[in-house]
Amino acid sequence: MSLTDSIPNNVDLGSDRKLLRALEKWQPDFLRWWRDMGPEGFQEDQIWLRTAISVDAGGWANYDYVKMPDYRWGIFLTPRAGERKIGFGDNAKYDAWEEVPGELRGMLRRIIVTQADTEPASVEQQRLLGKCAPSLYDLRNLFQVNVEEGRHLWAMVHLLHQYFGRDGREEAEALLARRSGDQDKPRILSTFNETTDEWLSFFCFTMFTDRDGKYQLSSLSESGFDPLARATQFMLTEEAFHLFVGETGLDRIIRRAAEATVKDPNGDARNQGAIDLPTIQKWINFWVSSAVELFGGEISSNAADYFATGLKGRHHEQKKYSDHSGLEGIYTMPIVKDGRVTMEEVPLRNAMNEVLRDEYIDDCERACERWNKTIASTGLDFRLRIPNRRFNRGMGIYADFRFDPEGNLVSDAEFEKSRTQWLPTEEDRAYVKSLMVPCYEPGQFAPWIAPPAKGVKGKGVDFEYVKFASAADAAE
């Protein structure tokens, strides 16, 4: 099969010989990386997956059984809707760029590489999870997320190859050479080096880390560099499913936790084989505090430059804002001065990371409210919380101080004293891992997670979402 056949695309790949050659060279390296670092042990199995084969509303999501290495990783840009102008910053009202402006080349490359790096990183982080999936439904969802992260890598590599010449090709190779968690060649952003070897972390990752992806992609979809805007617009359509997996996955674990607490004579969910709510809270604290780092510094000249040049806007820049210069505005943020938290005014452009973090945190709070309704529906009086953004930070203006999950300044000693109440302990991790026993019977679910309300795309919850190549795989 030629590359133009094996890569569904709407970028006219067949007529661009240079681009085709570059991608033909990269594809075998990608497949090698996928075999080495993609889901371990399931490459020969038939997975019921959706594949994007066009950008049309009706055509983009095509469902069928596919072996993962045969997945058709396509390249799609949302079609142009007429002439487009740059929507914000100092270049607003000029025509959007179809080529990379020379003076912005370095900055744009850095943004695209940073975005691209997260995609293979997450696949690497999740590569062992299939071996302990709580159901075939969840196993299939994991693999759906994985192949789509692979497609998002293709989307960014296409931009690197098409617009950045030799530099772009080198960056594309480097994306396959870095490894999540590797001391010598780690992935670029912190969270993407965290271990994700059990499913509570997987659902936290897809809930909280992928949600950073949503807001970053949304900001990039406003970009004055039109190919980036159009590539990220289409990525967002797939990203929605990843967020669904995270939010509903946590909801199902929380439901089981609450039910088990109510049922147990001592109110001990662990005694019923579930994960208790205080443990879930610790995971939320850990993953939220890790994910909020991904928005960059609170006061950032990089962010100001990205906005000023028109490369990266705000979430819903066109829909939500009337002033697109960002020059007049002031952002008031809490900072630590003389041992106290006080408010300080920052020029809006320098606070763009914080503006995006606000949107993100509101979205997390919304989901948390839903989980609390799930808990309340069991009759249990317990509330989960999204920790304050200052809690447990390793980067930015709060990194040198300690805060409790409510955001109050505390001493190092106070923090250390409460650490085991706020963050996962080794014992908690060992307990959660002890529950990770695979459950591969169609329609069966591990005891620590409730079944979903419905299956995928009209299929039942008991549908055979994964057909194992051999009985040995299923028993593994």
Instruction: List residues near ligand BYC by CB under 6 A.
Output: 110-111, 114-115, 118-119, 122, 149, 189-190, 209-210, 212-213, 216, 293-297, 300, 302-303, 312, 353, 395
How many angstroms separate the CA atoms of 26 and 401, rounded? 45
How many angstroms separate the CA atoms of 63 and 316, rounded? 30
Nearer CB in complex with ligand BYC: 74/246: 246
Nearer CB in complex with ligand BYC: 114/444: 114
Nearest distance from C-beta of residue 340 to ligand BYC, angstroms: 24
Residue recorded with tokens 């293979």? 120
Judging by DSSP bridges, how do beta strands 46-51 and 62-67 pair with one another? antiparallel
Which residue number has the CB closest to ligand BYC?
296
Nearer CB in complex with ligand BYC: 223/374: 223
The token pair at 368 is: 């948390």
Q: Is 150 helix (H, G, I), strand (E, B) or coil?
A: helix
Nearer CB in complex with ligand BYC: 46/144: 144
Nearest distance from C-beta of residue 381 to ligand BYC, angstroms: 34
Nearest distance from C-beta of residue 330 to ligand BYC, angstroms: 18
Nearer CB in complex with ligand BYC: 62/190: 190
Nearest distance from C-beta of residue 397 to ligand BYC, angstroms: 10
Nearest distance from C-beta of residue 293 to ligand BYC, angstroms: 4
Nearest distance from C-beta of residue 2 to ligand BYC, angstroms: 29
Nearer CB in complex with ligand BYC: 73/295: 295
Under 8 Å CB-to-CB from 5, ≥6 apart: which residues? none
User: How many degrees, rounded to 5, is the angle at CA 112 between CA 106 and CA 113?
Assistant: 85
Nearer CB in complex with ligand BYC: 9/221: 221
Please give the distance of CA 245 from its chain centroid, rounded to a whole number: 11
Nearest distance from C-beta of residue 255 to ligand BYC, angstroms: 24
Q: Which residue pairs, CB below 8 angstroms and at least 24 apart, start in 221-224?
A: 222/87, 222/88, 222/312, 222/313, 222/314, 222/317, 222/318, 223/310, 223/311, 223/312, 223/313, 224/86, 224/87, 224/88, 224/89, 224/91, 224/94, 224/96, 224/97, 224/309, 224/310, 224/311
